């Protein structure tokens, strides 16, 4: 599936309010590297990128009806390091800003599957996964998992939100999955 996505540059530092509003109640709140800047404004190292696209969707869309974007971002979470889950990690993602989140979600999931298929990776898809982020519609999304990774099987996650849909994966976990399956 051809995405025709444009690259978006994602900053590493952002206002805490974005993540408080967009991920409220999720475990990410307790994992943010948060502090005040020189003017006392609450900011953080970004724990994920989708919230930024949601917050800036009108600006990013401009006069367009929809816009596919991809990014590669350094993200930071103060969590207990586990296999392929580190405090600093590389997140690769795709966001389809659109007035039709259901269609955007189907297209995002198809693109994610096509990407993993192109790598030759074996995976299972859960199209009704409960996502830990409150911005996903009805708290649901999709996940793709690699059984060879044991307890931490998720290699990719995404879903629909009011401004569109998308997915992301951690490069480190993807590499572990590829190694586990003998692809690298």
> Tens of pLDDT along 100-129?
999 999 999 999 999 999 999 999 999 887
Backbone angles phi, psi at 53, to 5 degrees: -70, -40
**Residue 64 has what pLDDT?**
95
What confidence category does residue 78 fall into, taking pLDDT thresholds of 50, 70 and 90?
confident
What confidence category does residue 27 fall into, taking pLDDT thresholds of 50, 70 and 90?
low
Position 175 pLDDT exceeds 90 = yes
**Residue 133 has what pLDDT?**
59
C-alpha dist (Å) from residue 54 to 63, 78, 97, 108, 154 = 16, 23, 8, 15, 23
Nearest residue to 101 via CA among 46, 13, 161, 179: 161
Nearest residue to 168 via CA among 30, 65, 70, 35: 70
Position 144 pLDDT exceeds 70 = yes
The mean pLDDT of the chain is 89
Q: CA 155 to CA 167: how far, in whole Å?
A: 11
Interval 38-59 mean pLDDT? 93
Backbone angles phi, psi at 148, to 5 degrees: -65, -15
Q: Give the strands of the sheet with 33-36, arranged side by side.
A: 13-15, 42-45, 33-36
Interval 134-142 mean pLDDT? 81
Least confident range from 25-39, 54-68, 104-118, 138-152: namely 25-39
């Amino acid at each position: 599936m051809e995405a025709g996505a444009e690259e978006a540059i994602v900053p590493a530092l952002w206002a805490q309010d974005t993540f408080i509003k967009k991920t409220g109640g999720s475990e990410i709140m307790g994992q943010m590297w948060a502090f005040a800047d020189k003017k006392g404004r609450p900011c953080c190292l970004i724990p994920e990128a989708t919230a930024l696209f949601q917050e800036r969707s009108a600006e990013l869309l401009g006069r367009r009806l929809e816009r596919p974007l991809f990014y590669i971002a350094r993200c930071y979470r103060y969590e207990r390091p586990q296999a392929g889950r580190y405090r600093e990690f590389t997140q690769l993602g795709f966001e389809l800003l659109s007035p039709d989140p259901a269609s955007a979600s189907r297209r995002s999931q198809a693109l994610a599957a096509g990407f993993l298929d192109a790598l030759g990776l074996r995976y299972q898809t859960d199209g009704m996964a409960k996502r830990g982020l409150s911005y996903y519609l009805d708290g649901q999304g999709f996940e793709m998992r690699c059984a060879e990774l044991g307890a931490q099987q998720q290699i990719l996650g995404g879903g629909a939100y009011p401004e569109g849909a998308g997915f992301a994966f951690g490069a480190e976990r993807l590499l572990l999955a590829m190694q586990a399956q003998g692809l690298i």
